[in-house]
Amino acid sequence: MENPFVFVVDDEPGIALLCNRLLTRAGYKVATETDPRKAIEYLKENKINLLLVDIRMPEVDGFEVIQHTQRLQPDAAVLIMTGHGTVETAIRALRQGVDGLLLKPFSQGNELIEAVKLALADSQTKRDAARTRALRPLFSVTEALLSETRREPLLDLIVNAICGHMQCSQAACYQLEIESGKYTLLASRGFPASQLHLDLISRVDESSAPLFINASGPGDSTLKTHLSALGLGAVILTPILRPNLSMMLYAARAVGEPPFRESDLEMFQILARQSIAALENARLYAEQLDYVRKVEESQKALLQAEKMAAAGRLSASIAHEVNNPLQAVQNCLHLAGREDLPEEKRKEYFDLARTELERLMLTVRRMLDFYRPGTSSLETINLAEALQYIVTLMSKQLNETNVTVEADFPAQPLAIMAVSSQIQQVFINLILNAADAMPQGGKLHITARPTRQGVEVIFQDNGNGIPKEKQANIFEPFFSTKDGGTGLGLTVSYNIITAHGGVLEYLPDRGPGACFRIFLPGGGKQ
């Protein structure tokens, strides 16, 4: 390949400029872009030979750019560069068909040039292999048919495949209607349905054997008359018989086109078997989708019922806490209202009523603080010390569940203004959630570091993680990802952190487990 065109996409202008300089010096044509969204638009208009892309970029990451490249320019090689070379990154790159991986920073230009050469060579090898596979038409047809799970598009694929690989101008697919005993046209290309076609189908249906006839060769004169009336030079019909499905595939060539050969019949029968397999696959997929839909609807109904039940239990608990002192107050006031009651006793009942009212007010205040932590008791705390205290406090419980905590805290204080007990409650909730996600044991890595605006804490476990479809709801009240969970732990933690002016968020794609990030404003680093 002479002067390959390399497209560099990196949000760091310095890296993009360096790659441009090194690759241009090596004889490559080079274009650079620091905005991944503009890069995607560039790919729509300009042909490239290799994409050299950074993985971690804001808003649109490198893997998304790769996806667009593979869709827009499937022949282009792809080389990723990253300063975070993990096993997970490598696996994802392999799954996405990437041709090479280059770690940043690269100390010498030779590393970059060699990586580009290898990626281009690897991509060329892949294209050569693809050309070889394309020589096997039945393989490509089977792949296309089995990849389509929708019935109507699949039927169109079948008739188009017949015309393409049988080199014929007409194709059709019929299905036997059980109730009427007649064949109905499902899909066709190149001809309208007619009674003459149905006559041919009936003959095949009676014999349950394929029909193979050329108008110019030997064969049944009646069938030849049919062909002449239809303006055809050759026809192949093959039945597809299954316990619950009877179909017929039809292929025809017009007068003047080459006659069918025996090998055409063999290929047609193979194609018919692949078609019925694809149709059966589509039917099973549709049934599975319907089943999944019904299960999801049932789950939603059960989840809503559980939420209402949880809300009912919470309401009952609140009502109980409020009702008891109110009843006591009512009784005391009733007794104090008796006319024959001595003044000393009346004062005693009033004092009791006052005490119960104070207890009620305290209960209500605690409920409000539970969801809306106040700032009345804010104090300066060392977040690293608070974390270490909680880890030490829970060490026995974690050891019993075979959970190992790896703490990475800086030596300098991480000073923030906070309600110490509430922040500790958040730490406990996140550690317990991580332990629950690793019932067989595992590792929990806790990292704390200062930022310019405050302090950041990362909780990363190697458990099963949170399913993608549930991630958007994890901070909702009464929503739980575990059996028997109340669905309040993360909600309360979120409210506490938010009330402190901070952020609690779930970081997806930090697998294999779950990863939570806390940011709290504070002194930060200077």
Helix runs in 372-514, H state only: 383-393, 395-400, 420-436, 489-499
pLDDT-based confidence at residue 20 (cuts at 50, 70, 90): very high
Helix runs in 401-503, H state only: 420-436, 489-499
pLDDT-based confidence at residue 460 (cuts at 50, 70, 90): very high
pLDDT-based confidence at residue 217 (cuts at 50, 70, 90): low
Is pTM beyond 0.85 here? no
User: Beta 29-33 vs 5-9: how paired, if at all?
Assistant: parallel
Beta bridge partners of 154: none
* Mean pLDDT taken over the chain: 79
| pLDDT tens sequence across 252-273 | 888 877 777 676 777 777 777 7
Other beta carbons within 10 Å of 27: 10
Domains annotated on the chain, with CATH = 5-134 (3.40.50.2300), 139-286 (3.30.450.40), 379-521 (3.30.565.10)
pLDDT at 367: 58
Beta bridge partners of 444: 405, 461
Residue that is written with structure tokens 């009502």 in the block = 319
Q: What's the mean pLDDT in 81-88? A: 76
pLDDT-based confidence at residue 52 (cuts at 50, 70, 90): very high
Spatial distance between the Cα atoms of 373 and 352, rounded to a whole number of angstroms: 30
Spatial distance between the Cα atoms of 422 and 441, rounded to a whole number of angstroms: 27
What are the angstrom distances between the C-alpha of 76 and each of 112, 120, 305, 475?
A: 18, 8, 52, 42
From first CA to last CA, the distance across the chain in angstroms is 52
What are the angstrom distances between the C-alpha of 227 and each of 199, 206, 233, 457?
A: 11, 19, 7, 79
DSSP tag of 522: B
Q: What's the mean pLDDT in 428-456? A: 89
Spatial distance between the Cα atoms of 275 and 249, rounded to a whole number of angstroms: 9
| pLDDT tens sequence across 94-152 | 788 888 888 888 766 788 999 999 999 888 887 666 545 433 555 566 666 777 778 78
pLDDT at 443: 92
pLDDT at 488: 63
Highest mean pLDDT among 230-234, 355-359, 500-504: 500-504
Spatial distance between the Cα atoms of 485 and 423, rounded to a whole number of angstroms: 21
The residue type found at 62 is: G
More confident residue, 195 or 472: 472
pLDDT-based confidence at residue 161 (cuts at 50, 70, 90): confident
pLDDT-based confidence at residue 491 (cuts at 50, 70, 90): confident
Other beta carbons within 10 Å of 517: 16
pLDDT at 486: 47
**Over pLDDT 70: what percentage of the chain?**
82
Q: In what order do the strands lie in the sheet with 77-82?
A: 29-33, 5-9, 50-54, 77-82, 100-103
